Amino acid sequence: MNRPASLFRATGKQRREILLPLLVGMLLLTGWHAAVRMSGSDIFPTPLEVLHGLVELAQRGLLLKYIVASLFRVSWGFSLAVVIGVPLGLVLGWFRPAFAALNPFIQILRPISPIAWIPVAILWFGVKDTAPIFLIFLASVFPIAVSSMSAVQNMQQVYLRAAQNFGLRGLPLFRRVILPAALPQIITGIRIALGVAWLVVVAAEMIAVNSGLGYLIIDARNAGKRYDLVVAGMVMIGFIGLILDLLVRRLEKFDEVRWGYGQR
């Protein structure tokens, strides 16, 4: 990330990448503020009130606690989804009988919203951290498994034939040809899944956990007229989502992955 000081030394393109979003952000904030003022609502907060809400949370030490709690749950749920989803997808993509047997069930489970799983999560796991982790896992495992599966299925036949001509089979074939060939698409799936995992944090924390950004939003609804904290929670979720996405995008810079993307 560029610091303001380096802005002067930045190229025109870099400057554009910083200034344009800043400008749009300012416009959005002004529009938001004006809309609240014009509607005369004293329930919906202005941007400044949200900022005050955030400062209050930070001063009470809650902001850090809640961010850590949400990141903890998302990291574990998402990691479990990667550890289980990628191998599962690879296996299903490679072995046709396994695909035939399991794919219908994956497609049945996939569209069920994590919110629908909340009662089940409470019945199975109670209201400790395991329940939200389970929900986040569920939300992210299917996009990962499906993208890994189709990555193997859509692999270019020429790689396989070449490998077979060199006499590769079994585990070496898998490790040296199939996995690298599928990796760019798997990473795309992982990136989408991380977005989904972070997206469901509010729903997952509707369960009676007592920390987290999702909990902050639900708790603020209980707290009377604290919609500034509701919006503060939304803003924090948005910003952390952006940072997580930037981090995962770095994965696409690795040589093992970069070859798979177009050049534009």
Partner 1 sequence: MGKSLTVWGALWLVLLTGLHGFLNLNWFRGATTGSGGGSAKFGVGFLPVTCHLTCPVTDYINRSTSGEGFYEPMRFNGWPELKEMFLGRPQDMPAAFILAPMAIALREQGVKLKIVYLGHRDGSALMVHKDSGIFLTSDLRGKTVAVPGRYANQRLIIYRELKKAGLTFDDIKLVEMPPPDMPAALFSRAVDAIISGEPFMGQTELDGYGRVLWQAKDVWPGFISCVLAVREDAIRDHRAEIQRLVNGIARSGKWIDQSMEHRMDAAEFVAKGYYNQNPRLLRFVLSKPPDRVTYSRLVPLRAEFEEIQRLAQEAGILAGTVKFEDYVDDSFAAEANAQVALDFEVKK
For 85, the 3-state DSSP assignment is: helix
φ/ψ of residue 115, rounded to 5: -60, -35
Residue of 55, 54, 32 whose CA lies nearest to 44: 32
User: Interface mask (CB under 8 A) for partner 1, residues 150-169, using x and -?
Assistant: --------------------
Structure tokens at 176: 């040296």
Q: Does 72 bind partner 1 (CB under 8 A)?
A: yes
Smallest gap from Cβ 207 to partner 1, in A, equals 6
Task: Calculate the dihedral angle through the C-alpha atoms of 92, 93, 97, 100, rounding to the nearest 10 degrees.
Answer: 80
Closer to partner 1 at the Cβ: 10 or 257?
Answer: 257
C-beta of 128 vs 161, nearer to partner 1? 128
Nearer to partner 1, 43 or 158 (CB): 43
> What does the per-residue mask of binding to partner 1 show for 205-244, with x meaning CB under 8 A?
-xxx-xx------xx-xxxxxxx-----------------
Q: Token pair for residue 56?
A: 């209050």
Short-list 102, 83, 105, CA closest to 94: 102
Contact 46, 36 (CB under 8 A): yes
Min separation Cβ 244 and partner 1, Å: 11
Q: Residues in the site for partner 1, rule: CB under 8 A?
A: 42-43, 64-65, 68-69, 71-72, 75-76, 79, 118-119, 122-124, 126-127, 129, 206-208, 210-211, 218-219, 221-227, 251, 254-257
